[in-house]
Amino acid sequence: MKLHIANPDPNGQVLQMPAWIPGGYLIRDFSKHIESIEAFASSDSKKVIALERIDNDHERLPPVNSAVDILTAVYAFDSSVRAAYLDTECTFFNATSLCLAVNGQERLPCSLAIPSPEQAFADQWSVHTTLRSVKTDGRGFGFYLAQNYDDLLDHPVAMGEFQVIHWQSNGVPHRIAIQGCNCIVDIKRISQDLQAICASTINLFEPKTKRAPFGEYHFLVNAVLNGYGGLEHRHNSTALLSR
């Protein structure tokens, strides 16, 4: 993972890996998955900048007067809805597991680049996320924008091959993207059931207006042999682990 900091704190920039995830309600200590972390001057990738370990979650850059790149290698083999998983079959991640916070700059807009894998196994892959697309190709690879760091943390990202179902509930577009399922799903039945469930939910929480507080909603589903779970996100998506 590469973090580019255009204007680091001239007095010494502090970096932090989250210990929590929105909606998780427990300390997760995601920094334990960092296997290596290095800093380089953006203008010279050979110029290594020594990092100071402050504590379990924090690192400090020495005072610098130019842009810096931070490279991290992160363990990503946790298939739960709150972590990060990457192999040749699929990818799913929350930014809490991969993206360092730049202390003092959390309120600034930030972009996320998701390049298309070069390996042949990913030729049919696509990207599903509710992050705002800025410049992406037809499969969703490219650049996304978050309003700030907190916004970035509330948009999980899934990549791989999917079966996608679309429907509308109370006039709002919904979709469910299913990966890991070896059989063809019953699109008609799932769309009918979810249309009714989502419409009833909107009506329950918005009894006067019957209007959803979002413009679209996405369900990201990873079908597995064992395990289950779900994590609702603040804006317009839910990550699900289902058998």
pLDDT average, residue stretch 93-115: 97
Q: Is the pLDDT of residue 220 over 90?
A: yes
Q: Is the pLDDT of residue 141 over 90?
A: yes
Report the CATH fold assignment for 2-160.
Answer: Immunoglobulin-like (2.60.40)
Sequence ranges of the domains in the chain: 2-160, 163-242
Largest CA distance in the chain: 61
Q: How far is CA 207 from CA 185, 202, 212, 215, 237, in A?
A: 32, 8, 10, 18, 21
State the Cα–Cα distance between residues 93 and 37, nearest whole angstrom.
Answer: 19
Question: Are both 2-160 and 163-242 of the same fold?
Answer: no
pLDDT average, residue stretch 90-107: 96
Give the angle subtended at the CA of 225 by the CAs of 237 and 140, to the nearest 5°. Answer: 35
Looking at the structure, give the CATH architecture of the domain made up of residues 163-242: 2-Layer Sandwich (3.30)
Q: pLDDT tens for residues 10-60?
A: 999 999 999 999 888 899 999 999 999 999 999 888 889 999 999 999 999
State the Cα–Cα distance between residues 62 and 50, nearest whole angstrom.
Answer: 7
pTM score, whole prediction: 0.93
Q: pLDDT tens for residues 41-50?
A: 998 888 899 9
Q: pLDDT tens for residues 167-203?
A: 999 999 999 999 988 889 999 999 999 999 999 999 9
